[in-house]
Amino acid sequence: MESFEEIRQKDKVQVLPDFEKISIFNPLRIGVLFSGGPAAGGANVVAGLFDALQQMNPKSVLIGFLGGPSGILEEKFRILSKEEVDRVRNLGGFNLLGTGRTKIESPLQFEQAKEVIAKMKLDGLVIIGGDDSNTNAYFIHEYLKKNNVTCSVIGVPKTIDGDLKSKEVEISFGFDTACKVFSTLVGNICVDAMSSLKYWHFIKLMGRTASHVTLECALQTGVNIALIAEEQLSLKDIVSQITDTVEERARQGKNYGVILIPEGLIEFIPEVAKEIPEELLQDKDSHGNIKVSQIETEKLLSKMVIDELTKRGSSVKLNPIHHFFGYEGRCSYPSIFDATYCYNLGINAAELIKAKKSGVMATIENTAKDVTHWKASSVDLKLALVEELRNGKKKQVIAKALVNLSGPVFKAFLKARESNRLKDNYLRPGPIQFSGPGASAITHTLFLEQQYPC
Amino acid sequence: MESFEEIRQKDKVQVLPDFEKISIFNPLRIGVLFSGGPAAGGANVVAGLFDALQQMNPKSVLIGFLGGPSGILEEKFRILSKEEVDRVRNLGGFNLLGTGRTKIESPLQFEQAKEVIAKMKLDGLVIIGGDDSNTNAYFIHEYLKKNNVTCSVIGVPKTIDGDLKSKEVEISFGFDTACKVFSTLVGNICVDAMSSLKYWHFIKLMGRTASHVTLECALQTGVNIALIAEEQLSLKDIVSQITDTVEERARQGKNYGVILIPEGLIEFIPEVAKEIPEELLQDKDSHGNIKVSQIETEKLLSKMVIDELTKRGSSVKLNPIHHFFGYEGRCSYPSIFDATYCYNLGINAAELIKAKKSGVMATIENTAKDVTHWKASSVDLKLALVEELRNGKKKQVIAKALVNLSGPVFKAFLKARESNRLKDNYLRPGPIQFSGPGASAITHTLFLEQQYPC
């Protein structure tokens, strides 16, 4: 019997109308790399790129840099074969090449990268990454241009966090799948809470800084409480509100519930940071970010709620169960949406290189509609840059999109918030499906943002 | 658009040949309850029971006891309507009635239960539960018989742990779904490990005492290391073997890997218990079991491996990430297998009551084959009882089936163990599917045990 993995690889992915015919062209030599945390669908960007290049000219060469941007600096790469690409097609993750967080940012590194790119005679370099990686893509493009090396640098918007978006970038790939994986699990836990009748589940969800993932999962599952970091409540208010809900539900005979906590909460609440040992806060990654996934906010909060119940002299006994979902959602089989989106982003990257565009991000418009309405596009990375303080230094970066508290997604959440708090309005989206009705569903976030643009 | 939840509810479930025609009968009054931890498919047992009773006679009444066995003692129950049953059909969990761990075991409780059952004029009582709950079912049956109360007591084999099985009971419901949910996540994490190239994932899997769940998930995913508690290795040997693998893989440039740890490991290793604070070990549940899910064996092991690396003077730096999967697998939408199995177990329970059987567990034979080969059956609970020490007292109980180290499942695991340790033989089963190829797949455990009976 074929394994499900084998079956998935053969799945056809729909191509958007622009790409139904790809014209013949000179052979191109293109490099591609993954940067930062993995996201489902990454392999399909490479597959789209590979297939488009082959259709343009079978003599084209696609070179994969290994282990992230350091693959350029260390000249670690591999020419990709059809067999290799076919093995990961429609499957999740960045395992084809591996990824890494090394940044190309020092003058020496820029020079090194330029030398390698020139030596390898690359017509294009495709950088699949998040905000930091796309910022990087822009500066590599600038450096190459200044030094008269003709190589198109194209960014591809990736991040499960969903914070790489703007008017031009409707959604980053990986967000759809990650939210669906997490919502499957959260939905299962909601039913467990209603079945077991005795646990409060404190679930932390991955998503550095912004709370898009938590907001989307709250809409998909109808949990009792979802903390949205951007609301910037004080720790005292958060604990007090959770405790109120725990007590009110207990009065209704419901000694159970489900709470979603965004990983980035800690960045918005200075008091939380005070509760964390100093050494943890100093342990920042190379982008100057706190390693928030290491901080057990979920345990901190449940402990504080128990303390608050005691302080109030409440008879309610909280039985907390803690979860953190993150890694399991980054390399899932991509949802139909992500598989399709990524494959077309890959083709688009090839077309942009063919058109000699550089310093741009490959994008697609109308993604909330059926694929037949999708439109290939691109956005100038320079226009996306803003000045920010990083590690105390001014830097040009692509700004992270935070949850818009007057946007349609947060409004939809607010509408149900009070009812969800006390009632069991739980929804169970169930596991991601690849066929049958519902398989092509998009996130509430994408739907609402496109339906009601601010 | 219909939600996926709505779509799932309408799914037809295949009925085994014995049940294609259910003959008309007197109206029956039947009570049903969930006992112990939830498991996917529970609602379908009730649905099968309900539909069979309605087909026998539309005047039949199905009464659900609320919150587990205590529902009988406290006379908390509800007459179930078709609408209510339809709302949970093919969906996971025990949320229709709730569950609990109260046991009916004192002379007073038996008398109370008898009084309620007699007063309610129940023709049958269906107890959906694991080994302890089925033991209980037997003693309720005995008490009713001794006191001339005519009510058939029928057990239904439930547990995600997979340890309620024997020659007669091929599989307990919930095991198939839970293993698939966990394997989906473990498979995703394997791909993340290969993508990120820097983490060792220590994943603890729910499953009290026996390691069936870990063994099945190891076969479904090809992880590098899976600890099987029944091997009874010393803690020193376990840590030493993990450290060897970490070092050997590092020499191959692989600073990543995935380790599965059964929740029950601690029960087999007296030294682990010593590392755990005394108060935790005394915190046993009402069945006299250690609350193993509270003990973070995964963190204990990674810490010991880091210490061992230091002791060896190794240059390898272990980056551990910890996970515990349990609650998210108990109330998933049931797999096609569990949905079908549970529905037919429910019909079978109704038929057994009609046939005036009592003190038996509803079972189905040939479950490793296509449903057209399934055969309804039952097993006398008395025959399943053995004498065990519980809390220092001799008790008649249904023995937990441990992993058979000379059985076909463990042998299949051994065959791949050495290769999986160093190579990346990871498999990704992907999310549970409800249509298309692979949707009806059964576990390796069930397949191998039925194919090669000991």
pLDDT of residue A285: 56
C-alpha of B349 from chain center: 19
Task: List the beta bridge partners of residue A393.
Answer: A390
Tell me if residue B76 falls in helix, strand or coil: coil
Q: What is the pLDDT of residue A295?
A: 74
**pLDDT tops 70 at residue A278:** no
Contact B431 A431 (CB under 8 A): yes
pLDDT band at residue A291, thresholds of 50, 70 and 90? Answer: low
| Tens-digit pLDDT profile for residues B179-229 | 999 999 999 999 999 999 999 999 999 988 899 999 999 999 999 999 999
- DSSP E strand boundaries for B206-358: 225-226, 257-262, 320-325
Euclidean distance between CA atoms A444 and A337, whole angstroms: 13
- pLDDT at position B334 is 97
- Residue A164 and residue A398 in contact, taking contact as beta carbons nearer than 8 Å: yes
pLDDT of residue A54: 97
What confidence tier does B32 reach under pLDDT thresholds 50, 70, 90?
Answer: very high
Q: What is the pLDDT of residues A165-211, one digit of tens each?
A: 999 999 999 999 999 999 999 999 999 999 999 999 999 999 888 99
* Top-confidence range, B131-135, B198-202, B394-398: B198-202
User: What's the average model confidence in pLDDT over B392-421?
Assistant: 95
Residues of A in contact with B7 (CB under 8 A): 436-438
Sort out which chain A residues have CB atoms less than 8 A from B189's CB and list them.
327-328, 331
Q: Is the pLDDT of residue A302 over 80?
A: yes
Asked if A99 reaches chain B (Cβ–Cβ under 8 Å), the answer is: yes
Asked if the Cβ–Cβ distance from A328 to B438 is below 8 Å, we say: no
Which residue has tokens 């870990």? B214
Separation between Cα atoms, residue B68 and residue B76, nearest integer Å: 10
Q: Of A8-17, A122-131, A346-355, which range is least confident?
A: A8-17
Give the pLDDT band of residue A293 (cuts 50, 70, 90): low
Confidence (pLDDT) at A269: 82
State pLDDT tens for residues B59-87.
999 999 999 999 999 999 999 999 999 99
| Beta carbons within 10 angstroms of residue B388's beta carbon | 15
Compute the average pLDDT of residues B279-299.
Answer: 64
Summarize pLDDT for A401-450 with one digit per residue, the tens.
999 999 999 999 999 999 999 999 999 999 999 988 789 999 999 999 99
Please report which confidence band the pLDDT of residue A391 belongs to, taking 50, 70 and 90 as the band edges. confident
- Residue A337's pLDDT is 97
**Chain A residue closest to B433 (CA)?**
A433
Backbone φ, ψ for residue B453 (5° rounding): -60, 140
A185 touches chain B (CB under 8 A): yes
Distance from CA of A246 to the nearest CA of B (A): 19
Q: How confident is the model at residue B274 (pLDDT cuts 50, 70, 90)?
A: low
Here the tokens at position A22 are 């790809």
Whether pLDDT at B295 is above 80:
no
ipTM of this complex > 0.90?
A: yes
A363 band by pLDDT with thresholds 50, 70 and 90: very high
Nearest to B195 among A95, A189, A438 (CB): A95
pLDDT tens profile A108-135: 999 999 999 999 999 999 999 999 999 9
Sheet with A360-365: strands ordered across: A77-79, A61-65, A29-34, A124-129, A152-157, A360-365, A375-380
B452 touches chain A (CB under 8 A): no
Q: Do A201 and B327 touch (CB under 8 A)?
A: yes
Q: State the Cα–Cα distance between residues A273 and B69, nearest whole angstrom.
A: 45
Could you read off the pLDDT of B102-117 as tens digits, one per residue?
999 999 999 999 999 9
Average pLDDT over residues A52-77: 98
**What was the pLDDT predicted at A358?**
98
Inter-residue contact B330 to B39 (CB < 8 Å): yes
DSSP E strand stretches across B161-292: 200-205, 225-226, 257-262
pLDDT in tens, B350-386: 999 999 999 999 999 999 999 999 999 999 999 989 9
- Which chain A residue is nearest to residue B35, measuring alpha carbons? A196
Q: Is the pLDDT of residue B403 over 80?
A: yes
State the Cα angle at A88 between A85 and A89, rounded to 5°: 80
Residues 60-79 of chain A whose Cβ lies under 8 A from any Cβ of chain B: 67
- Backbone phi and psi for residue B62, each to the nearest 5 degrees, phi listed first: -110, 120
**Chain A hits for B333, Cβ within 8 Å:** 428, 430-431
Alpha-carbon distance of A444 to A429, in angstroms, equals 12
Asked whether the predicted pLDDT for residue B270 surpasses 90, the reply is no
- Residues of B carrying an active site annotation: 161
Q: CB distance from A442 to chain B under 8 Å? A: no
Question: A431 and B428 in contact by Cβ < 8 A?
Answer: no
CA–CA gap between residue A222 and residue A210 (Å, rounded): 20
